[in-house]
Amino acid sequence: MLEFLKRLFKNQDQDLTFVIFDDDPESSTSYNFKPSRLWNLFYISLLTVTIIVLLFVMFTPVSGLLYNRQDAQLRERVIEVSQKVQALRDSLEARDTQLAEMQEVITTGDDTAFSINEGSSVAMQSGNQKKSELDFTSEVSNKGVLSQNEIIFSNIFEQAPEFPTDYPVDGTFTRGFKPENGHYGIDIATKQGTSFKAIADGAIINQDWTVNYGYVLHVQHSNGIITVYKHAASVSKSIGDIVLKGDILGTAGDVGVLSSGPHLHLEIWKNGVPQNPNTYLIKS
């Protein structure tokens, strides 16, 4: 059949005779035709069928089905992109808020005021001034006894934190301090829900949740040191809480868009400059 079509196409301008033989050898029927006419008929038929299909698709409910499917796919993509944009916007706003709070703490030194849960307001004096006493603005009971938080708070900022100290969480070191790549701390892989602890005495100056990092805690220590804990699944401390070295701050987890597995991210800042946490820590 293919050879026959090739021959028709090759000899389309010549007159050909098509002979049909019956069962009787003496009887036969012959037809004279030009292959070019047959090909023209084929092209016209193909064009006609194409036009009919296009008209059918354009002016029947079939077109609505096709367009609706495309619209649905486009709508899904638009929704997906808008959700990603909103998540990025929320993350940027949270980052800007954190940076502003950290900048305020850094620029004001150790004079940051904390609101104590028991109703006492304490003002921290700068460690550079090395005063022997702190000025308290607090409500004293009728017996003139200071609250437990005030007593703890008056002592933790009189001396520098003790370093090196143990890791804040039991786990495996996975990623180091690379400020040139925007990684200002270290990552410690651990099991989901493992508790992490404060590495030094201090006070909670910020507690927030972000899309990129999950729960984030900022702890102010003496000597202008701030520690930051990221990718927490839960936190057990609030802004203004006084924490001692070894106190549980929360649990680590696989939380945040930038998380690649259950771990704790730890940053240490001193006077606004990121520090390599490995110089402050020892593996227990």
What is the CATH classification number for the domain harbouring 259?
2.70.70.10
Q: How far apart are CA 262 and CA 252, in angstroms?
A: 7
Residue-level pLDDT at 26? 63
Residues 249 and 130 in one domain: yes
Residues 219 and 121 in one domain: yes
Residues 132 and 272 in one domain: yes
In 108-212, alpha helices (H): 148-156
- Is 134 contained in some domain? yes
Residue-level pLDDT at 126? 38
Domain boundary, last residue among 17, 40, 57:
57
Residues 15 and 118 in one domain: no
Domain boundary, last residue among 57, 79, 96:
57
Domain boundary, last residue among 41, 57, 73:
57
Q: 178-188 burial by CB neighbour count: b if 16+ within 10 A, else e? A: eeeeeebbbbb
Maximum C-alpha span of the chain: 138
Residues 44 and 154 in one domain: no
Residues 149 and 229 in one domain: yes
- Is 87 contained in some domain? no
Report which of 209, 266, 185 is spatially closest to residue 93, judged by C-alpha positions: 209
Q: How far apart are CA 203 and CA 249, in angstroms?
A: 11
The structural domain count of the chain equals: 2
Residues 127 and 222 in one domain: yes
239 burial (CB, 10 Å; 0-12 / 13-18 / 19+) is middle
Residue-level pLDDT at 86? 75
Residue-level pLDDT at 159? 79
Residues 24 and 146 in one domain: no
Residues 24 and 140 in one domain: no
- Is 95 contained in some domain? no
Q: How far apart are CA 211 and CA 184, in angstroms?
A: 18
Tokens 């040191």 label which residue? Answer: 225
- Is 268 contained in some domain? yes
Residue-level pLDDT at 194? 96
CB 270 within 8 A of CB 218: no
Residues 226 and 143 in one domain: yes
- Is 80 contained in some domain? no
pLDDT along the chain (284 residues), means of 10: 66 66 66 69 87 78 60 74 76 73 59 37 37 37 46 67 93 94 94 95 92 93 93 94 94 91 95 93 80
Residues 154 and 28 in one domain: no
Task: Please give the distance of CA 82 from its chain centroid, rounded to a whole number.
Answer: 15
Residue-level pLDDT at 65? 58
Structure tokens at 126: 């700068």
Find the radius of gyration of the CA atoms of the chain. 39
Domain containing 243 equals 111-284
pTM (two decimals): 0.51
- Is 118 contained in some domain? yes
Residues 270 and 129 in one domain: yes
Neighbouring C-alpha atoms within 13 Å toward the C-beta of 149 = 20
